[in-house]
């Protein structure tokens, strides 16, 4: 499904570059680099969802012929972070030219009880005392919920794979074909001590326990993470 766009000026290029959208989760094992002793209790994330109501593109071209569009989704765009798939095909037609800076804005969309951004994983903790008869490993499901009660606008600067900060990107129809949004779990958890999960409140679901981190559950952990979410999402052109 190709995106329509409204240029700020009359576009001079008859054949724009078509760029496909991809959304992916990277570094799902945020504590893997900890020393072995500290890493006896590990947390791994295998999936989640990012839901968007729209995406904005604001490109500043070298010749001052800027290009802007807002793609609003009639049906919420849902990215399955378990397999990097989208519930609908999304592509953008971008006029050719040299862009000095491109800003991408993501509009999250929580629906009813479903948050705009969710991560699902498991906490593996040691059970029993070392050398004891009941020693083993217990797995407890973990769920992180962000942007459930409100929408968030996440502003990103588009970079190339090797780029940092603001850089010129040239669209000529041959060099770029994928706009990739990357959600970095290791970056979100950078300042969180994994020992915090030992004191996390658990909820009972059937005969199993579960840890939920949200604005309403384990709020101290939630607020230590939520401010890092935007910093942990990158937009890369490939």
Question: How sure is the predictor about 20, in pLDDT bands with cuts at 50, 70 and 90?
Answer: very high
The model carries a pTM of 0.85
Calculate what percentage of the chain has a pLDDT beyond 90.
Answer: 54
Report domain extents, the chain: 2-237
Scanning 34-83, the segments in alpha helix (DSSP H) are: none
Distance CA 43, CA 188 (A): 13
Distance CA 76, CA 109 (A): 7
């Amino acid at each position: 499904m190709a995106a329509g766009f409204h240029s700020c000026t009359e576009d001079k290029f008859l054949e724009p570059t078509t760029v496909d959208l991809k959304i992916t989760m990277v570094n799902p094992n945020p504590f893997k680099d900890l020393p072995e002793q500290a890493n006896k209790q590990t947390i791994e994330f295998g999936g989640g969802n990012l839901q968007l109501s729209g995406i904005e593109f604001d490109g500043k071209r070298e010749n001052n012929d800027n290009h802007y569009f807002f793609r609003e989704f009639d049906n919420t765009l849902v990215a399955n972070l378990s397999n990097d798939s989208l519930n609908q095909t999304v592509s953008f037609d971008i006029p050719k030219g040299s862009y000095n800076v491109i800003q991408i804005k993501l509009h999250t969309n929580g629906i009813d009880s479903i948050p705009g951004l969710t991560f699902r994983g498991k906490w593996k903790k040691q059970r029993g005392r070392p050398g004891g008869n009941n020693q083993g490993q217990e797995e407890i499901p973990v769920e992180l919920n962000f942007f459930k009660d409100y929408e968030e606008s996440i502003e990103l600067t588009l970079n190339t794979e090797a780029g940092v900060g603001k850089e010129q990107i040239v669209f000529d129809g041959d060099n770029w074909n994928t706009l990739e949004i990357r959600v970095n779990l290791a970056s979100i958890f950078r300042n969180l001590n994994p020992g915090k999960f030992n004191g996390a409140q658990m909820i009972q679901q059937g005969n199993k326990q579960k840890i939920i981190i949200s604005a309403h559950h384990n709020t101290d952990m939630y607020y230590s993470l939520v401010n890092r979410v935007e910093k942990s999402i990158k937009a890369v052109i490939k």
